[in-house]
């Protein structure tokens, strides 16, 4: 049970907290023993600072290398064939919209096909998909093939692999059901697979586009997610693409060279992040992948906390599974320069931020109550070391992401619009704080659980489609809720102990953490209609 680990840790430290509130000073602050013990106990914070530094390097490095737009090549006289794959499962609210958008893509006649990979089990949704395919093909003349399997073996990866064997197209574009590509998507993206002289660049396997947003202003949750996507895509992926010639496929809004997929063995359901797993196999095979930020494909952000938590659980769990599969190869067997290897290891192991933060936020109150923290040297030392790095990182990421993603939003980039988007930093920090025990539980499940876990789809509301059908419910994972309640209770007791000792600023921090976790636990556990 992944939540049990956090509960045991919190319960044990809670006991120590209660015992350690005596006024007896058992070690002299500033002594050699104090410095040694305090430094050792701050190792989780050292890990966090190292991860924050790596992230800051990427964001600042964006202005050095990532900001420059990669030039497209020249298309050959005979355009290549393209197959657009649309994997979906019970996507009643958005299926027709993405099918219409895919068939409306501008591409020479006879060179474009659309595959609808529908694993739906809901009879009404299956009928809707059939009608949407027939209507779109009749309206546009683009062949729209509906492929269905007898079982969901391999989930999304299995559907994509089954569809891959049914097409001989040179390029495969993949779009999740909640994405709405602009009509010129292929016209703008395919040229990147060619050189300026019109010859194919066979070493390039993937062109990944920027995610846009259809509902970024709907709620505090969608605003927080929009900031994360803007930061991760525009800043991080642009820099990784320019500096290291590698970005991971994000599962959608990307175009693959079909031969490249075939050469590394095709799609595998080896983890819950089949897109990233395929990307790293291409890395090991010597292929390059690139990110083009000026090509924006709008998408629907999860509109409910239950849907968002299900998505994050799958991503975090899958990333840890990916490490179990490919970390030894990346660390020891993949041949590359050490700076590139170091960054790729940082890239793959970024999910270790969650256990680092979970351990640190449960350990820090114990250190404070026992005067084993640097705040004993003065308020400036405490604030500067414990608050400033994370606050500076969040503010830097928020400002840079807001200023550099003006092209992803409709309308003019006025000062008022930019100022409003800057306020997204507040819900971004609050949501991430509230998600901490949930993400830690997902990390533990990915590390100790089976590799072949169930793929839980993220429900889509179909914003702007006029649908009135209820959104599918998300299963509530009780161990995760148990971990959230235990962690919030621990922080609440720590806040009370801080008040008893006159540490009011520390009490405020613990109370805010408990409030964020409890709020997200409640909102994420509500049964949606």
Beta bridge partners of 288: 204
Q: In this structure, are strands 112-118 and 82-88 parallel, antiparallel, or unpaired?
A: parallel
Q: In this structure, are strands 254-257 and 171-174 parallel, antiparallel, or unpaired?
A: antiparallel
The whole-angstrom distance between residue 343's C-alpha and the CA centroid of its chain comes to 18
Q: In this structure, are strands 112-118 and 144-147 parallel, antiparallel, or unpaired?
A: parallel
Beta bridge partners of 82: 112, 171
Q: Could you say which of 118, 176, 178, 275 is catalytic?
A: 275
Query: Residue 514 burial by CB count (10 A; 0-12/13-18/19+): exposed, middle or buried?
Result: buried
Q: Could you say which of 118, 119, 176, 230 is catalytic?
A: 119
Query: Are 369 and 501 spatial neighbours (Cβ–Cβ below 8 Å)?
Result: yes
Say how far apart CA 42 and CA 433 lie, in whole Å: 20
Say how far apart CA 129 and CA 124 lie, in whole Å: 9
Say how far apart CA 413 and CA 392 lie, in whole Å: 24
Residue 352: how many other CB atoms lie within 10 Å = 19
- Catalytic annotation on 231? no
Query: Residue 341 burial by CB count (10 A; 0-12/13-18/19+): exposed, middle or buried?
Result: middle
CA distances from 350 to 39, 320, 347 (A): 23, 9, 6
Tokens for 66? 């990532």
Say how far apart CA 447 and CA 20 lie, in whole Å: 33
Say how far apart CA 193 and CA 234 lie, in whole Å: 20
Q: Taking Cα atoms as reference points, which of 303, 245, 320, 314 lies closest to residue 471?
A: 303
Query: Are 29 and 364 spatial neighbours (Cβ–Cβ below 8 Å)?
Result: no
Beta bridge partners of 291: 208
Q: Taking Cα atoms as reference points, which of 400, 343, 357, 383 lies closest to residue 49?
A: 357
Contacts of 360 (CB under 8 A, 6+ apart): 44, 45, 48
Tokens for 23? 């006024």
- Catalytic annotation on 28? no
Say how far apart CA 501 and CA 170 lie, in whole Å: 68
Say how far apart CA 27 and CA 461 lie, in whole Å: 57
Q: Taking Cα atoms as reference points, which of 237, 232, 227, 348 lies closest to residue 291?
A: 237
Say how far apart CA 257 and CA 14 lie, in whole Å: 54
Give me the active site residues, please. Answer: 119, 275
């Amino acid at each position: 049970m992944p939540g049990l680990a956090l509960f045991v840790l919190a319960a044990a430290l809670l006991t120590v907290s209660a015992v350690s509130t005596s006024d007896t000073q058992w070690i002299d602050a500033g002594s050699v023993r104090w410095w040694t013990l305090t430094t050792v106990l701050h190792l989780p914070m050292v890990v966090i600072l190292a991860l924050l530094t790596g992230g800051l390097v990427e964001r600042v490095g964006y202005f050095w290398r990532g900001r420059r737009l990669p030039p497209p090549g020249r298309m050959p006289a005979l355009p290549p064939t393209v197959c657009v794959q649309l994997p979906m499962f019970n996507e009643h609210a958005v299926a027709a919209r993405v099918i219409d958008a895919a068939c409306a893509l501008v591409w020479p006649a006879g060179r474009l096909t659309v595959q609808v990979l529908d694993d739906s089990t809901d009879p009404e949704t299956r009928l809707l998909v059939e009608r949407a395919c027939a209507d779109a093909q009749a309206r546009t003349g683009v062949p729209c093939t509906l492929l269905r399997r007898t079982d969901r073996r391999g989930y999304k990866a299995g559907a994509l692999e089954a569809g891959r064997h049914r097409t001989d197209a040179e390029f495969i574009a993949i779009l999740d059901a909640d994405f709405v590509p602009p009509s010129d998507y292929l016209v703008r993206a395919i040229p990147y697979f060619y050189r300026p002289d019109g010859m194919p660049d066979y070493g390039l396997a993937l062109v990944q586009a920027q995610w846009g947003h259809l509902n970024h202003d709907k709620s505090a949750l969608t605003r927080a997610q929009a900031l994360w996507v803007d930061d991760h895509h525009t800043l991080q992926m642009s820099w990784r693409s320019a500096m290291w010639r590698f970005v991971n496929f994000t599962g959608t809004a990307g175009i693959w060279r079909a031969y490249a997929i075939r050469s590394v063995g095709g799609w595998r359901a080896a983890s819950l992040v089949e897109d990233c797993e395929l990307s790293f196999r291409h890395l090991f095979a010597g292929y390059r992948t690139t990110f083009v930020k000026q090509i924006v494909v709008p998408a629907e952000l999860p509109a409910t906390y239950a849907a968002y938590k299900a998505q994050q659980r799958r991503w975090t769990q899958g990333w840890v599974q990916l490490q179990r599969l490919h970390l030894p190869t990346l660390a020891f067997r993949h041949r590359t320069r050490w700076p590139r290897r170091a960054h790729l290891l940082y890239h793959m192991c970024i999910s270790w931020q969650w256990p680092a933060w979970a351990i640190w936020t449960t350990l820090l109150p114990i250190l404070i109550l026992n005067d084993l923290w640097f705040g004993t040297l003065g308020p400036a030392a405490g604030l500067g070391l414990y608050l400033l790095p994370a606050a500076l990182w969040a503010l830097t990421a928020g400002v840079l992401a807001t200023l550099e993603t003006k092209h992803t939003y409709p309308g003019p980039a006025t000062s008022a619009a930019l100022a409003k988007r800057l306020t997204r930093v507040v819900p971004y920090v609050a949501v991430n704080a509230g998600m901490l025990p949930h993400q830690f539980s997902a990390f533990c499940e990915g590390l100790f659980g089976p590799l072949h876990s169930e793929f839980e789809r993220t429900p889509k509301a179909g914003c702007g489609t006029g649908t009135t059908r209820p959104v599918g419910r998300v299963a509530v994972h009780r161990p995760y809720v148990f971990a959230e309640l235990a962690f919030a209770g621990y922080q609440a007791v720590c806040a009370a102990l801080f008040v008893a000792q006159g540490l009011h600023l520390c009490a405020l921090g613990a109370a805010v953490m408990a409030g964020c976790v409890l709020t997200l636990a409640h909102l994420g556990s509500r049964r949606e209609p």
